[in-house]
Structures are given as C-alpha cells and as structure tokens.
Amino acid sequence: MPVGKEKSAILDQQDKRVREQLSKIKHKIMVMSGKGGVGKSTIAVNLAVGLSLQDFMVGLLDVDLHGPSIPKMLGARELKLSRRPDGRLGAIKYSPNLKFLSIEPLLPSEDSAIIWRGPIKISAIKQFIGDIDWGELDYLIIDAPPGTGDEPLTIAKTIPDAYALLVTTPQEVSLIDVKKSIRFCQKVKMRILGLVENMSGFICPHCGKPVDLFKRGGGQKLAEEMGIRYLGRIPVDPRIVDTGDRGKPIVGAYPESITAEAFDELIRNIIAATELMQKELLEEKYMRIAVPVSAPNKIETSEERFSLFSIYDIENKRILVKDVVKKSDDQSLLDFLKEQVVTHILLFNPTEELSERLDKENIKVLRIDDKDGNPDQLIKDLLSERAKA
C-alpha cells in the first residue's frame, strides 16, 4: 500500500475509534477561557467531582498539554493508567464515578516540558479520546488551555456536539478576552452552554461571610449583553487555593461552605442547561440547516456539484445566523456536514442512497419540491409552517 493511502487508512481508523467512544458519552462540556489565571481548571475539577458526587458517571480530560494541572488538583499524581483485558488502556480511576486523563502521567517526570507543534497536539488529543477506554459516561468535562489555539480548536472539530462553558472574572480585561471565546465558538459552530463568573466577591477567612472586596457582576452583565446563559458565580475563597494544593477539591473537602454551595448551584444550573439543550435538539427547537446553493439565491440540485452551502442557525423557529460556507474539494459531503455540526439539510429530490447516508449520520433530510425557490424564503416558509403546527 502506498504511504499516502496507508496514512489515510490509519487516520480513518482513529476517527472511527473516536466516534465509537463519543457515542457512549451523553454530554461533552469544554471548559474554556479567553485568558489565563481565571481559575478555569478549578472550575473544571470541582464541576467534575461535584457531578460524580451526584451519582453521574463522569470523565475529566485535561487537554492543557503544556501546563497540565488536573492530577495535582485531584491529589492523584501517583495514579497510573490501567490496562483492560482486551489490551486497551483505560482512563485513570479517581473514584467509583470519576475517571480522568492528563498528559502528566505519561511524562518521564512531573517537570518535563512538552515542546510540540500543532499536528502532534492534535494527534495526542484524538488519541486521548479514541484510544482510551472511557466507558459509558453521563458527562465528559474537558479542561482546555486558555485562548483559542490548537487544543480548543481540536476539541471543537473532534467533538462537534460539545458545549462550551466559558469562565471569566469580573475584571474588564477578562471580560474583553472572554468575548473572543464567544466569537471562537460562533466561528467553529460550538454551542455555548453558558458563562460562569469566578473570583466574584471574597469569602472572609475569619468569619466565612462574603465581602465585596473586588468587583462582581461583570460576567452576568456580559452574558445578558451577548445573549448567553449566566450559570452562576464562584467567590474568592482562600480554601480553594489550599484544597487545590492539597489535591482535595473544595466541593468534597468543605461541602457545607458558601463556596461549595455556590458550586452546587452552578452544577444544578449546568445539569438543567445540558438537559434543556438536548431537549431543544430532540424537539427541533434548535436546528442547523444546510442548503446547497449554486448562487446566493439558487439551490444546487446535483450532489456532484455540492460545493457551496448556506447554513442557517435556527432557535425557537427564528433564524439567528446565516453563513455561506464553501466545502473543500478534498472533503466528502458527510465530513463537511459533520464539521459544520449540521442537524438538517434541505434538498430537492434527493436519491434514496444519499438520504440513507445522511440518516446514518443523524442528519435529517428536508425535502422540497421547488428547485427554483429562494433558499432564504424556503427556510422562512419552513419555519412559518412549523410555527402553525
């Protein structure tokens, strides 16, 4: 087999393993921030532990390859990957309901530096998902490095149904940067679960009461401004630093504290939000509809010429965003639609073979009879009909 085809076959097998593993995970949440130092990993760790304490099966994936901190924060630096009877490696078991994985246990020493460029990082993240046995999970929490680089982009492309949980602090500089994360999510078609404001207020170490020593409320104001969910706020608490250093997350170490109660409220809101977003998909209250076009106002009817697509984000029977996106010449139709996280495609007289291929990928076909119709008007007519139903 030629080298190029052999490499392609290996990548196809890896993608297949990734899809098989992801099919066993109900909800995937990437915790991300526009800048460092906002407590993103603290949120990810306490969210994962808190969910596991509520009897959910949870996975925690650390894709901060250059600065992994999850093993330290869990107090699990001595734990190693286990090998299954079938030879596959399993994620590290932290508790009966929580597994995790990080690059750190795979390094020669804790202070080894990772000096990798993009392609190697992309491959490593895909291996973390596809080559590791995570089992059946209710939630996979993914701790991404700050910013909008290779790691969050790889997650967005590899896990197209992942949600983004944005972490900010009340300060203006953090709020400015989290807007970039919002734009990133919009660009890569990642639905935003919501925003949490960390380091909001201060918990006095003497009396345990909250004090508005620092700014608060900036995250809530930004969420309202940008039209995304505000999921809660976590105060500054000296015990968060202490519990993180000792490897005992605060939701378990001080379950009666004000901070743990704040995390409990955040977790309740996240559970409600994920269930609601799942329901919106099932009830088609949220749709991403692709329409192949040959010109801005003309539908393309031949699959062989499917190259340009108008893509509509629909929520509660109204158009939120419309994009026009070109498919790469070397990209298959199904790969393109999955990359764009399309839920529906509007087609004129599709073949049974094409319909079956789309159905296998859970992409619903919306059939139309008017091949000369204006795509924008056809979408509006569709939404109008559904509103009457």
Tell me whether strands 286-295 and 308-315 are parallel, antiparallel or unpaired.
antiparallel
Class of the CATH domain delimited by 3-282? alpha beta
Give the separation between CA 254 and CA 265, rounded to whole angstroms: 15
Q: How far is CA 265 from CA 78, 305, 318, in A?
A: 32, 51, 31
Q: What is the mean pLDDT of residues 84-92?
A: 85
Confidence of residue 82 (pLDDT cuts 50, 70, 90): confident
pLDDT for the residue 213: 64
Angle at 132 between CA 130 and CA 133, to 5 degrees: 105
Give the three-state DSSP class for 251. Answer: helix
Tell me whether strands 318-326 and 308-315 are parallel, antiparallel or unpaired.
antiparallel
In terms of Cβ atoms closer than 10 Å to its own Cβ (0-12, 13-18, 19+), residue 93 is: middle
pLDDT for the residue 366: 95
Give the three-state DSSP class for 237. Answer: coil
The backbone torsions φ and ψ at residue 363, rounded to the nearest 5 degrees and listed phi first, read -105, 115
Give the three-state DSSP class for 333. Answer: helix
Confidence of residue 16 (pLDDT cuts 50, 70, 90): confident
Exposure letters 66-76 (e unless 16+ CB within 10 A, then b): eebbbbbbbbb
Confidence of residue 214 (pLDDT cuts 50, 70, 90): low
The backbone torsions φ and ψ at residue 95, rounded to the nearest 5 degrees and listed phi first, read -155, 175
Confidence of residue 8 (pLDDT cuts 50, 70, 90): low
pLDDT for the residue 57: 98
Q: What is the pLDDT of residues 326-374, one digit of tens each?
A: 998 888 999 899 888 899 999 999 999 999 999 998 999 999 988 888 9
Tokens of 130: 């596809």
Residue 364's identity, in one-letter code, is K
CATH superfamily, domain at 286-388:
Dinitrogenase iron-molybdenum cofactor biosynthesis domain (3.30.420.130)
pLDDT at 140 over 70: yes
Residue 74's identity, in one-letter code, is L
pLDDT for the residue 388: 80
pLDDT for the residue 276: 94
Confidence of residue 318 (pLDDT cuts 50, 70, 90): confident
pLDDT at 179 over 60: yes
Confidence of residue 4 (pLDDT cuts 50, 70, 90): low
Q: Facing residues of 59 across strands?
A: 99, 140
Q: What is the mean pLDDT of residues 101-119?
A: 89
Instruction: State the angle between helix axes of 150-158 and 172-188 in degrees (0 to 180), rounded to the nearest 10.
Output: 40
Confidence of residue 199 (pLDDT cuts 50, 70, 90): confident
The candidate with the shortest Cα–Cα distance to 94, out of 160, 129, 149, 45, is: 45
Give the three-state DSSP class for 176. Answer: helix
Q: What is the mean pLDDT of the chain?
A: 90
pLDDT for the residue 296: 81
pLDDT for the residue 204: 74
Q: What is the pLDDT of residues 17-74, one digit of tens each?
A: 898 899 899 999 999 998 888 999 999 999 999 999 999 999 999 999 998 999 999 9
User: Element (H or E) spanning 262, and its range?
Assistant: helix 258-282
Residues 6+ apart with CB under 8 A from 247: 72, 73, 74, 75, 76, 77
CATH 3.30.420.130 residue ranges in the chain? Answer: 286-388
pLDDT at 206 over 80: no
**Spatial contact of 308 and 293, defined as CB atoms under 8 Å apart:** yes
Most confident stretch, 8-22, 84-98, 126-140: 126-140
pLDDT for the residue 301: 93
pLDDT at 2 over 60: no
Q: What is the mean pLDDT of residues 251-278?
A: 95
Give the separation between CA 68 and CA 143, rounded to whole angstroms: 9
Residues 6+ apart with CB under 8 A from 151: 63, 64, 65, 121, 125, 144, 145
The backbone torsions φ and ψ at residue 28, rounded to the nearest 5 degrees and listed phi first, read -120, 125
The number of angstroms, rounded, from the C-alpha of 45 to the middle of its chain's C-alpha atoms is: 16
Give the separation between CA 344 and CA 374, rounded to whole angstroms: 17
**Spatial contact of 374 and 297, defined as CB atoms under 8 Å apart:** yes
CATH 3.40.50.300 residue ranges in the chain? Answer: 3-282
Length reported for the chain? 389
Q: What is the mean pLDDT of residues 256-280?
A: 95
Sign of CA dihedral 279, 33, 68, 187: positive
Confidence of residue 99 (pLDDT cuts 50, 70, 90): very high
